[in-house]
Chain A
Amino acid sequence: DAGVTQSPTHLIKTRGQQVTLRCSPKSGHDTVSWYQQALGQGPQFIFQYYEEEERQRGNFPDRFSGHQFPNYSSELNVNALLLGDSALYLCASSLARRGHGVEQFFGPGTRLTVL
């Protein structure tokens, strides 16, 4: 049973460029969340996708956008990259269930470096 997978593993971009990160959720999961983790800090919630729509969004600018496909996989797009966007980007998948604790399972992450 494959867990959460992310691609690419590492990425180097320059300021002003655009980047797309990809995530495939754990088998059976229908919800994908994206987090940004700067070095030495805890992850920060970017947004969550469920049923191909953005269900919740954290305090991130519109330069950060996403998409969820019918097979539940997801993409995170960041436009006009800034040096401060350098971070580990984590994808987490879960199964939406009312009235239950929803455990999120994290992928290995994509390390983005902006020069």
Chain B
Amino acid sequence: ELKVEQNPLFLSMQEGKNYTIYCNYSTTSDRLYWYRQDPGKSLESLFVLLSNGAVKQEGRLMASLDTKARLSTLHITAAVHDLSATYFCAVDANNAGNMLTFGGGTRLMVKP
């Protein structure tokens, strides 16, 4: 059974600081997705990572995938309050685009 683990589960950081969220998964896959969820809202797609070594950046967020280590990272650069949300990684274990297994989420709070 595929397991997806994120850490930390909760992250409180000051504006302007950098930090990394880690996503480990237990089975071979080269398709990993990052989503953002604001309180009471749905999931917003952030990144789609489809191969080993994939790196994508959008604004202050950068995601990478190491399929050999079964690890993805979401790096936050110079955090701002608007980045406060819960971030989920999800793995497509079948590489078939049908079943996503999500991590437990990282709740990020950026304080002024």
Give A contacts to B, CB under 8 Å. Answer: 31, 33, 35, 41-45, 48, 50, 55-56, 58, 90, 92, 94, 96-97, 100-109
B105 lies within 8 A of A41 (CB): yes
B97 lies within 8 A of A96 (CB): yes
- On chain A, the residues within 8 Å of B102 by CB distance are 42-44
B100 lies within 8 A of A104 (CB): yes
Pick the contact of A90: B33, B43, B98, B105 (CB < 8 A): B43
In this complex, the member of A55, A90, A102, A103 whose beta carbon has the largest number of chain B beta carbons within 10 angstroms is: A102
| A-B interface contact total, Cβ < 8 Å | 68
Between-chain CB contacts (< 8 Å), 28 pairs: A41-B104, A42-B88, A43-B88, A43-B102, A45-B100, A48-B99, A50-B98, A56-B94, A56-B96, A90-B42, A94-B97, A97-B97, A101-B31, A101-B50, A101-B92, A101-B97, A102-B92, A102-B96, A103-B33, A103-B48, A104-B33, A104-B45, A106-B35, A106-B44, A106-B45, A108-B41, A108-B42, A109-B42
Report B3 CB to chain A, min CB distance, Å. 12
- On chain B, the residues within 8 Å of A48 by CB distance are 98-99
Give B contacts to A, CB under 8 Å. Answer: 4, 31, 33, 35, 41-45, 48, 50, 88, 90, 92, 94, 96-105
Known: A42-B88, A42-B105, A101-B48. A106 touches B43 (CB 8 A): yes
- On chain B, the residues within 8 Å of A50 by CB distance are 98
Supplied contacts A43-B43, A100-B50, A105-B45, 5 more A-B pairs, CB within 8 Å: A42-B4, A44-B102, A101-B50, A101-B97, A106-B43
- On chain A, the residues within 8 Å of B41 by CB distance are 108
- On chain A, the residues within 8 Å of B31 by CB distance are 101-102
